[in-house]
Amino acid sequence: MDCGGGGPVSAPQHGGRIHAFARQHQMPWEHVLDASASINPLGPPASVLAALDPLAPWLRHYPDSEQWAVRHVLADRFGLDPDTIWCGNGATEVLDHLVMVLRPARTWIVEPAFSEYARAAARHGSAVHRVAMAPPFDFPGALLDPGVGAQDLVVLNNPHSPSGRAWPRADWEPWVRRWSARGAWVAVDEAFLDFLDDGQALTALAMTPAHQVLVIRSATKIYALPGLRFGWGVGPRSLVERLAALRDPWSVNQLAQVAAAQAYQDEAFLQATHRWLAGERPWLADAIGRLPGVRVHPGRANFLLLEWGSAATAQGAAERLAADGILIRSLTEWRGLGARWSRIAVSTRAGDTRLVDRLRAALP
């Protein structure tokens, strides 16, 4: 466990950089198979596209600074008080809002993890304290517990990225209750939880009214809306009121609000997503697991964590895929992993077959 100031904050590149990738490899961006960003390949939902079609006249008006309609849709969908919900220009901004308002002296981060957790802490003067996990990436409550104190912020994500492990409630809830009672805040990033058909049984949403627990969600991945950016958070009403007083009131554009409101009412799309992932993820994991020199780590999210036999093998596979227009996520700069690790998104059967075939040709 690294309990120092955390050192310089590393900044691995985010996935989904298809435009830069296309320029580098001199191909149209539409020809790129992006397996670096874990976006639902079934989306955006047709219902969302239909809802956006007539909205051109709205562009001459400012968006709703209170995000009233979408907050009430989310409240109905998840059984929440709309006054405990705030919206942001993606989950990254929602996280930034939290750290800005809480101003924790220390932010505890379980790594490997999304680099923006540490970056948000650093932006707002919070000392980063890191706890390192290793395979099989079990919930690290016992590793965190000795150091977490009052007024600290603990950042978790479930399912965990990049491993894809989904931690059952029994694994994490006792620890979260303990830290909350101790006076710490716990932020749970559930950006990938909607992909799981039992996500309602795993969420921390029910803890937000009575504990110092905050939940971060995103429409970006489940509804394939990264171009619009919509994230949302849930926390105590008093905290949300403080956020409203400090945040940019126009950061969530009107198209994003309408798209998210429609998406979260599309139950048929969500069920189709669950059926797709239940069939496609095992197929892809098995197909890649049969290839030489690569191990697929267990997980449940819409991506796979791959461990290669050597850094050279990992690099060679990535370069061969890139030459064929396939972009995957290298984890070279992620703390606790390195050049032998990568993450790939689960796609359609056609896209996944293309990826597996190219990998098979690239490996000795």
What digits encode the pLDDT tens for the residues 48-90?
A: 999 999 888 888 899 999 999 999 999 999 999 999 999 999 9
pLDDT at 275 over 90: yes
Percent of the chain exceeding pLDDT 70 equals 94
pLDDT at 225 over 70: yes
**pLDDT tens-digit profile of 153-164?**
999 999 999 999
What is the residue extent of each domain of the chain? 18-43+267-362, 46-263
For the segment 312-337, the average pLDDT, to the nearest whole number, is 92
Assign domain 18-43+267-362 to its CATH superfamily. Aspartate Aminotransferase, domain 1 (3.90.1150.10)
> Does 18-43+267-362 match 46-263 in CATH topology?
no
What is the C-alpha to C-alpha distance for residues 206 and 185, in angstroms, rounded to an integer?
Answer: 15
Cα–Cα distance list, 240 to 74, 236, 288, 315, 355 (Å): 15, 6, 44, 45, 44
pLDDT for the residue 330: 93
pLDDT at 143 over 60: yes
pLDDT for the residue 88: 96
168 forms beta bridges with none
Report H helices in 209-266: 237-246, 254-263
Of 25-34, 179-188, 325-334, which range is least confident?
Answer: 25-34
> Mean pLDDT in the chain?
92
For the segment 233-249, the average pLDDT, to the nearest whole number, is 92
327 forms beta bridges with 34
pLDDT at 36 over 90: no
For the segment 32-37, the average pLDDT, to the nearest whole number, is 84
3-state secondary structure of 110: strand
**pLDDT tens-digit profile of 6-23?**
444 344 455 567 677 668
Q: Is the domain 46-263 a CATH 3.30.70.270 member?
A: no
**pLDDT tens-digit profile of 279-303?**
999 999 999 999 999 999 999 999 9
Output the pTM of the full model: 0.92
Two tokens at 127? 């000392």
